[in-house]
Amino acid sequence: MPDEAPPLPPAGPRADGPAGKPPVNLRRRIIKVAGFNGTTVVVIAALASLASLLLGDLVGAGIGIGIIASGVMELIGRNALRKWDLDGAGRWLPRSQIWLLALVTVYALSRLFSFDTGYVRDEVLPSLADTMGAAGVDFSAALAGAGLSRDQLVAYAHQVFYLFWGLVILGNWLYQGVLWRFYVRNLRKVTVEPVMPDHRPSDR
């Protein structure tokens, strides 16, 4: 009679998260996402702040500095997770998204209600007419050809202005909301350190 195969050993406790993903791999994914997003936010906000300062827009520069703070918070959370500091990562990563969400929303709302109809009609349109005239285009004739009056053009500009900032708010809530949920859900799964501290795989 052939030898029987030895029985399989009983399955031990898994180090996988609830979705079956090894926590160490999920942790690396979070680290990569936070590193990319945080660095991107810091770089873009720093350039925008510099441009605002050069243009004399102190409010825009201040908003840019606040956005830089959000990116720095995200990078702090990333570094905490690299050190297996789950409490630190759980604090900084989700809060960085809430901070950025609130900051961009407040700024976008302030811009949304800043449209000055009189300024556009009395300053912007004459300047536009002069620019088009220098290029050999009659602004009034162009308006007449489009079947528009100056007041109608201002009204359309107002609608586009509202649409733009409304989309900024919507996009901000969608992106930051998804990223906040990504951090909160996945950090809860990284609860087990699957290897001994002296044998942790490199995150580089």
Domains of the chain, by residue range, sit at: 23-195
Do residues 80 and 47 make contact, with C-beta atoms less than 8 angstroms apart? no
Amino acid letter, residue 62: G
d(CA 54, CA 59): 12
pTM of the model: 0.73
Q: Provide the pLDDT for residue 203.
A: 56
Residues of the chain with pLDDT under 70: 1-24, 191-204
Q: Provide the pLDDT for residue 24.
A: 66
**Which residue spans within 30-149 are E strands per DSSP?**
none
**What percent of the chain shows pLDDT beyond 90?**
51
Residue pLDDT, tens place only, 14-73: 444 444 555 668 999 999 999 999 999 999 999 999 998 998 888 888 999 999 999 999
